[in-house]
Structure 1
Amino acid sequence: MTFDVEIVLRARDHAITERIEQAGEPGEWTETDVAAILREILLAIDRAQNPGAAERYVALRGFSWIVEPATGGVVIAIEIPSGAAVAGPFDIAQPALDRMISLALASASPKTVVH
């Protein structure tokens, strides 16, 4: 599927829209797919802030997120210190996407290591 990400960077008064491709339809997604989508949204913010820069590693931490109802489904809204993005809409139930995002973020969290 294809979806839009609208990005507003801090100290800017206009949005930038980027189109992203994701395999499969929202009803078929797994937490791995959702983690990939979150990374793509964060990379889109980075591309808006640093056009022409090489793609960087993305960690799934340090950002706020919410899944909100919208025309045509739900959207994922993300806020980081450099700006915010809204992606979607996605044709999936809000609780299901909330759960998959929570699982994706939990599995991406650093594990405690005892030596």
Structure 2
Amino acid sequence: MSEGTIFIVEDNPVIADLISWRLTEMGYRVVGTAEDSTQALVRIEEIRPTLVLMDINLPGEMDGIDTAVEIIKRFSIPIVYISSILDSEIMERAKKTKPLGYIVKPFTDNQLRATIEMALQE
């Protein structure tokens, strides 16, 4: 397992807690969560994690892809998307941000672990 800190942006607190718990059980260090883009940008600026897990469907003016663009531009922190959205238009937008992975919900622990491990190697 690679060293690094992970921040989770997920609008559903139950899912965010579940992902956080699963990652912690795998030995990763989760340093925070946020439910929307505004909260995420503030917390990420303070914490400066190694990696951000980003849900695409977020409430507010900015979705997860817009938020990822800001995170990459401001902080140069890589993104792994976690989403149930497989729409081709959304996927094309997401690809333009050069994410280190895209995990489709629902996912298994093995899918989560493999994607995170590869992303932290970058």
TM-score (normalizing by structure 1): 0.23
TM-score (norm 2): 0.22
Structure showing greater radius of gyration is 1
User: Higher RCO, 1 or 2 (CA under 8 Å, sep at least 6)?
Assistant: 1
